[in-house]
Amino acid sequence: MPSKHSPAVLLGASADAATPSIKDLQASAVCQNDLHKQKLAAASVSDGSTLANAPESEMSLSGSCFCGACELQVSGPLKFSMICHCSICQRLSGAPYGHWIGCANEQVVVTKGELVGFKSSSHMTRYSCKTCSAPIYNQCHLEGNEFRDVPTSFFTGSGMAIPPPEAHCFYSSCVRPVYNAVMDGLPKFSDMPGQSDMVQESGLETMAKAPESEVDLSGSCLCGACELQVSGPLKFSMICHCSICQRLQGAPYGHWIGCANEQVVVTKGELVGFKSSSHMTRYSCKACSAPIYNQCHLEGNEFRDVPTNFFTGSRMAIPPPEAHCFYSSRVRPVRDGLPKFSDMPGGSMVEE
Ligand SMILES: [Zn+2]
Ligand SMILES: [Zn+2]
Ligand SMILES: [Zn+2]
């Protein structure tokens, strides 16, 4: 895998004693951060978001994966709380970016459940629930700098205070312009934290483009074991903030395109299915656990949907989203000018 975007390198750097610590990062970013906080306050964030708050230094979280088979405890001081836009996070979660908290190995403890590991780079192994494929934690193997990181969405719905992020990394890989609206006032590193240029927030860009009606996409999962083709007219192109997407993707939200069954074809690879609700089965790569597609079983309304981040790096034209659904479950607000449904599309709307 391209080492430039290796989360192992990234996360290793953020916790490496020889590189800036979280406190160093905060100190170096404090002026800009304060300025952004003022701007955010001036913009009067309507949903009471606390995105610009400093992360908690001590915490104690426990939770279970979506299916309940795995349980995890995280306690003690944080090494970091970071949003990562790298292509590996995108492709393995099937989501635009992930929010990770990192701790020393012994502070991240799996108390129950069976995991499957996938080595996503030379320094990182990513562990998922064997049953529901939800990401549980990553193990960094960098010598002298071992640590574990956990997707904060693991704790979605737990009612616990999840430490807010302190910065964005690999922001140059941010999916644009669709997700350009990460307007949270936090420091944004183009690559590794503290070792790369900062990227300026480029201002509000309205996502006004209509979704493509026809697509012709093909790609492989991160490990390459599974290949998929999507062609024909789209039923929808939608960002979903529902808690199931959050917990199974380990990300704040996912962007899905939906087609008739026969238009979404797996041409190679072995999948594992997990029934995430009475009407939906979610299929993941057996080797790397990346989400491949969902099968909706609603009678008279069968369809398949595919996470657009499956195609990250393919340089294909990914259809932009047309709306947000289940926005009332959001953990991170998005300001992109698109319609936002509190629940199902067509229902009540939420103001940005
Ligand atoms: Zn599970
Ligand atoms: Zn969803
Ligand atoms: Zn795979």
**Mind listing the pLDDT tens digit for each residue in 156-196?**
877 777 888 999 998 888 875 554 557 778 888 888 887 77
Q: Global pTM? A: 0.78
Task: Give pLDDT tens digits for 72-86.
Answer: 999 988 899 999 989
pLDDT at position 4 is 37
Contact between 142 and 123 (Cβ < 8 Å): yes
**Separation of alpha carbons 208 and 38, rounded Å:** 28
How far is 208 from 277, CA to CA, in rounded Å?
A: 32
Short-list 155, 72, 141, CA closest to 109: 72
Ligand lying closest to the C-alpha of residue 116: 1
Is residue 40 over pLDDT 80?
Answer: no
pLDDT digits 0-9 by tens, 190-236: 888 877 788 777 654 444 344 456 888 999 999 999 999 999 888 88
Ligand nearest to the CA of 288: 3
Structural element, H or E, at residue 102: strand 98-103
Q: Decide whether 3-173 matches 214-329 in CATH topology.
A: no
Expressed in angstroms and rounded, the spacing between residue 4 Cα and the centre of ligand 3 is 20
Ligand 3 mean position, distance from CA 235 (Å): 26
Mean pLDDT of the chain: 79
Query: Which of the pair, 26 or 298, is modelled with greater confidence?
Result: 298
**229-259 residue pLDDT tens:** 999 888 888 999 999 999 999 999 999 999 9
Name the residue ranges covered by the structural domains of the chain. 3-173, 214-329
Classify domain 214-329 at the CATH topology level.
Answer: glutathione-dependent formaldehyde- activating enzyme (gfa) (3.90.1590)
Question: 21 is written with which tokens?
Answer: 């610590």
Q: What is the pLDDT of residue 22?
A: 39
Residue among 276, 257, 231, 243 nearest 320 (CA): 257
Separation of 70 CA from ligand 1 center, angstroms?
Answer: 6
Radius of gyration, alpha carbons of the chain:
19
Q: Token pair of 290, please?
A: 């990346």
289 CA to centre of ligand 1 in angstroms: 12
pLDDT above 50 for 335:
yes
CATH tag, 3-173: 2.170.150.70
**Over the stretch 138-149, which tens digit does the pLDDT of each residue have?**
999 988 889 999
* Ligand closest to the CA atom of residue 270: 3
